[in-house]
Structure 1
């Protein structure tokens, strides 16, 4: 997939379509508003309506918004994001340019400088369980483990590395960590670090640390809320 010439328009179309076609438009609207980090009050102010209007749409107390209202809401979210620096729009553009849908890859970024793994782990509240051959990363990719493993070919999986393999791959929707660690065995070369999100040391697959050691990458776990992790990653220089 080539890089989008208008990531804002692409993102607007995706969000509006998902809300309009959803069986629960209010819940989908709430999901996207939260994803953009926009409060009901801020969205209402931008639309020049009361907060109760947004609340009623999201809760289903008000009839589902039509296409015109959805378009206004989506454009308001994008306007607010641009006023704040456009981080969410740029994030979406990076994912698209790498050839992925945003339900597979939540974030993909290259850093302007090398980050020590310890600093990266501190930023996302991760605990290292096994050290690897490298103590630094130059980027990260946040991946839905179920979507990636069930939908991506081995060639597509390799594209998760972005511009460099010296990165951290963070897998979300993890229950024990078995599938991501097995997937790492067939990807060559391996990343510098793998982070499993949503579990702690006790819930981890028993063989995971040993497999990480065999392949030479650092293995860590974190159960911090994903939205907070993504926000912390956006704040990295």
Structure 2
């Protein structure tokens, strides 16, 4: 997928999500903060005062029409493009893979194979079980609850089955039992699995055993997700 078509598809997705939202202001704010753009920067791009953006996001102004929505989306993408296009590329990769951003929040390829030990260090993960492979070439961040409840069986197999030589990072986990059990029926297995937002001592007590049986490295981290992704972007 070329960068132009990826950006166009992303623009349509964001605009559609805002236009159909019950709380469009909150959805605008979600995308603005996801793109790490200040209200003042978005306002400057739109040539309005910051209070206008604030009023839309807080709901003090009437729901924005499609013209306003399209201008806001174009402004977000234009700002990100000038800054190097990191967020555009990130979201476009997810869209090209055929999954919603609520399910797959990050999908990236690293510039070179990364030792799993170094990957775990970068995301401040504690290793719970060693793997049979030494490196990962990319990672996929998956909301475990959204994946289990929203994906069809075919989509589920496609998402998990595209994980060869990668790390799968599962967010929204309590103990890690559900994603690890679900992975038992999917081939090939990833080189590494990370349970995000959970302390090592709170991980399901059979998790490490399953990881050893299936041959992937298992880690757990509580590092804040946005900070973790930013750190990976600068290192890999």
Q: TM-score, normalised by structure 2?
A: 0.91
Mean Cα displacement is larger for which, 18-27 or 156-165? 156-165
Q: Deviations over 1:152-184 (max 9, x none)?
A: 355534433687611100011111101111012
Q: Deviations over 1:81-122 (max 9, x none)?
A: 111111222122222222322222112222231101122122
Mean Cα displacement is larger for which, 135-144 or 60-69? 60-69
Q: Deviations over 1:97-150 (max 9, x none)?
A: 223222221122222311011221222222211111122111111111122223
Residue 23 of structure 2 is aligned to residue 30 of structure 1? no
Alignment correspondent of 1:56? 55
Residue 227 of structure 2 is aligned to residue 228 of structure 1? yes
- Contact 2:163–2:188 (Cα < 8 Å) also in 1: no
Query: What 5-or-longer segments of structure 1 have no aligned partner?
Result: none
Q: Distance in 1 between matches of 2:16 and 2:10?
A: 10
Alignment correspondent of 2:216? 217
Q: Distance in 1 between matches of 2:30 and 2:132?
A: 39
Alignment correspondent of 2:128? 129
- Contact 2:129–2:217 (Cα < 8 Å) also in 1: yes
Query: What 5-or-longer segments of structure 2 have no aligned partner?
Result: none
Closer/same/farther in 2, CA of residues 85 and 5 from structure 1, 3 Å limit: closer
Residue 141 of structure 2 is aligned to residue 139 of structure 1? no
Mean Cα displacement is larger for which, 70-79 or 47-56? 47-56
Figure out how many residues of one structure are paired with residues of the other and give that number. 236
Closer/same/farther in 2, CA of residues 162 and 177 from structure 1, 3 Å limit: closer
1:6 aligned counterpart, secondary structure: helix
2:107 aligned counterpart, secondary structure: strand
Q: TM-score, normalised by structure 1?
A: 0.91
Residue 40 of structure 2 is aligned to residue 47 of structure 1? no
Q: Distance in 2 between matches of 1:174 and 1:161?
A: 16
- Contact 1:4–1:97 (Cα < 8 Å) also in 2: no
- Contact 1:161–1:167 (Cα < 8 Å) also in 2: no
Alignment correspondent of 1:169? 168
1:73 aligned counterpart, secondary structure: helix
- Contact 1:19–1:70 (Cα < 8 Å) also in 2: yes
Query: In the TM superposition, what are the counterparts of 1:43-192 in structure 2 within 5 Å?
Result: 43-153=42-152, 155-160=154-159, 165-192=164-191
- Contact 2:160–2:183 (Cα < 8 Å) also in 1: no
